[in-house]
Amino acid sequence: MIEFIPQLIANGIVLGSIYVLVALGLTMVFGIVDVVNFAHGEFYMLGAFVAFLVVDHLGVPYLPAVLVTGVGTAVFGFATEKILIRPLRLRNPHPINYVLVTVGLSTFLLNGVNVLFGPDLRKIPSPFMKQILHFSNVYLTVQRLLVFLVAVALVSLLAYFVKYTALGSQMRATAQNFQAARIVGVNTDRVFFLTFMIGAALAGVAGALVGAMFVTEPTMGIHIIVKAFIVVIVGGMGSISGSIVAGMGLALVETLAGAFMPAEFLDIIGFSLMIIVLLTKPTGIFGTKGGASA
Amino acid sequence: MRKHALKAAAILGIILLPALLNEPFYQHILITAGINVILAVSLGIIVGYLGELSLGHGAFYGIGAYASALLCLKLNLPFAFSFFIATFFTGFMGYLIGIPALRLSGHYFAIATLGFQGIVILLIINLVDLTRGPMGLSGIPSPGEFKLFGATISFQDKIPYFYLTLVVVLVVLFLTSNLIRFRHGQAFVATREDPMLASSIGVDPRKYRMLAFAISTAIAGSAGSLYAHYALFISPDSFHLPESIYLATMVIIGGRGTIAGPVIGALMLTLLPEVLRFTGNLQFVLYGLMLMIVVIFMPQGIVGIFSKSRKTEDKTPELIDAAAKHGTP
């Protein structure tokens, strides 16, 4: 058993990279726009389908296709904010309205993709699935390494953006105090749609990576969103570093403990942990008091 | 007077419905509609009185169904007993879940109920010895039969089961519409409108939120029991997150904060799938679209269209007064 542990840790880090990419968008949209986006998993699912279409139908090589996916899902995030979230913010900004409208969007997209493409299991053709690396007794496909590297690159980029750029400071200001940010001249509307675009792009890229590694199918968003909720709640709604720690932590626990017990029990533990954190420390284990922090 | 006459005519019409629709298929839809009305009205209590959205109502529906079916199958209890025990048990579970969940509100309440929904379904799937897991429970007994004027009436037939469902629907509607007229009724509304103000006059908001949640979940449990003894087979699929979302869609499209709203929403979303059956999965795309449009453009739902002309007065001050009389400990 012991000799498998390095392999399990490697798998856990790859899975954690995916959790982090998806959870980051969810946590930023909550921290900055104050919306819990129940359709966030569908951005991830759309990402996988966009990448599949671009590679399979247009014949674009895999890596440029991932880039196209990021841009495509960002546009989708932009549209979501403009068409659904903004009207609600102006008319009826009750939290349950945001929940309802994003649940509606999730149902719409999930079934829409199901109608268009059917529930078949697809796989995005990626050349990196066939190349296998091994370090002593740990075996990894290049695809898995790519997932990790892309996650590290995007998370670093995001952290730099949020911390050191003007737009990033505007985002943090909006997260801390929306009214005060407006008073000092922050264009909060721009901050809101930008946050949605970043979140959707991260989820879309994650979908494009996973769609090549596992499968691309319409319900893949539902599976990931549940994990992302656990990560975001435990890490603290709005906290970027919290999501990174909690995402990696959850994935490592899942892969290591998954070798010893059925996955369903792990899910029960995950849900219970989420509810306990909600009750005892709603700002999350790593969360600061409200707002997004780098 | 006119209102009462209308009500009576509506009830009479509904009672005569099965006679008009003598195809078993239509009668099946009537029973399904009745069960959905019970579920939507009960979720409407949480949305309307608590101002919260539960994404776990399907789980309570499932708890009622499994509790009732297991009581019949394992303990050989008659339907009448298992129906009431399942109802109370589900309400009790609702109360227990409410203790932690109702400390939260808004987004957090929705996420916590989503988590609870996940836990319940995972438990049903994994407690294979008790629930037979994903294979579902089969062979659930029908409520049996009784003799009336020499004729044997069996609940295995659709028409008697429709009347049984109708009785539960009417009791639930009566209870719900009178919730605010009961001794502590106005305290519910006061709590919803302004929890701070309500607590300042001695109404403990938590107590009323808990009570409303327990009542709502108990009613969902009774719907579960009705469903289990009608379908005679239950599996976890019927009570999963899509069911919870479907129920929430009924309440919102019909119109939240009213009783007519969830009833209209439930009837609509029971009939639409039958009409749109030929479109396959496309109908779910439509429901998602409807939900988004209603939330953004007509937050009062279908009921809102009809009551727009009527002036809605703010009744909060009188309700707070009334609540103050009852709520003082």
CB B155 within 8 A of CB B20: no
Q: Is residue A189 part of a domain?
A: yes
Which tokens go with A21?
A: 């990419």
Query: Which amino acid, one-letter code, is at B279?
Result: T
Confidence of residue B197 (pLDDT cuts 50, 70, 90): confident
Which tokens go with A251?
A: 């994935």
A108 contacts in chain B (CB < 8 Å)? 285, 288-289, 292
Q: Provide the b/e sequence for A158-191 (b: ≥16 CB within 10 Å).
A: bbeebeeeeebebbbbbbbebeebeeeebebeeb
B123 contacts in chain A (CB < 8 Å)? 268
A115 contacts in chain B (CB < 8 Å)? 280-282, 285
A99 contacts in chain B (CB < 8 Å)? 53, 55, 107, 110
CB B240 within 8 A of CB B287: no
Q: Is residue A191 part of a domain?
A: yes
> Among all residues of chain B, which has the CA nearest to that of A268?
B119
Cα dist from A291 to A135, A158, A227, A233, whole Å:
41, 16, 21, 13
What are residue A216's DSSP bridge partners?
A122
Distance CA A98, CA A104 (A): 10
A105 contacts in chain B (CB < 8 Å)? 288, 292
Q: What range does the domain containing A197 cover?
A: 15-219
CB A197 within 8 A of CB A77: yes
Judge whether residue B168 has pLDDT over 60: yes
Judge whether residue B69 has pLDDT over 80: yes
Query: Which amino acid, one-letter code, is at B37?
Result: V
A282 contacts in chain B (CB < 8 Å)? 104, 108
Confidence of residue B320 (pLDDT cuts 50, 70, 90): low
> Among all residues of chain A, which has the CA nearest to that of B48?
A96
DSSP B259: S
Residues 6+ apart with CB under 8 A from A17: A147, A148, A150, A151, A152
End-to-end CA distance of chain A: give it in Å, rounded: 38
Cα diameter, chain B? 61
pLDDT at B329: 38
Q: Is residue A55 part of a domain?
A: yes
A88 contacts in chain B (CB < 8 Å)? 295-296
- Span B275-298, mean pLDDT? 85
pLDDT in tens, chain A (294 residues): 677 788 888 888 999 999 999 999 898 898 888 888 999 999 999 999 999 999 988 888 888 899 999 999 999 999 999 999 988 888 878 888 898 999 999 999 999 999 888 888 888 888 887 888 887 777 888 888 888 999 999 999 998 998 898 888 888 888 888 888 888 888 888 889 999 999 999 999 999 999 888 888 888 888 888 889 889 888 888 888 888 998 998 888 888 887 777 777 777 888 888 888 887 777 776 655 444 444
Contact A103 B104 (CB under 8 A): no
Tell me which of A103, A226, A231 to substitute to probe the interface with B (most B C-beta atoms closer than 10 Å).
Answer: A103
pLDDT tens across B240-252, in order? 888 898 899 899 8
Interface confidence: ipTM more than 0.90: no
pLDDT tens across B110-156, in order? 888 988 898 888 888 888 788 887 788 887 777 776 766 666 767 77
Taking any CB pair shorter than 8 Å as contact, residues of chain B touching chain A are: 47, 51-53, 55, 100-101, 103-108, 110-112, 114-116, 118-119, 122-123, 125-126, 241, 245, 248-249, 252, 280-282, 284-285, 287-292, 295-296, 299
* A228 CA: distance to closest CA in chain B (Å): 11
Contact B114 A229 (CB under 8 A): yes
User: Of the segments B131-135, B155-159, B191-195, which one has the largest average pLDDT value?
Assistant: B131-135
Q: How many domains does chain A have?
A: 1
* A107 CA: distance to closest CA in chain B (Å): 5
CB B267 within 8 A of CB B32: no
pLDDT at B325: 55
Q: Is residue A207 part of a domain?
A: yes
Q: Is residue A178 part of a domain?
A: yes
Out of A36, A98, A108, the one facing B111 most closely (by C-beta) is A36
Judge whether residue B91 has pLDDT over 90: yes
Contact B107 A275 (CB under 8 A): no
pLDDT at B311: 45
Which tokens go with B270?
A: 């029971």
CB B288 within 8 A of CB B253: no
pLDDT at A31: 85
Q: Is residue A5 part of a domain?
A: no
Percent of chain B at pLDDT > 90 equals 15
> Among all residues of chain B, which has the CA nearest to that of A97?
B295
Residues 6+ apart with CB under 8 A from A84: A101, A102, A105, B292, B296
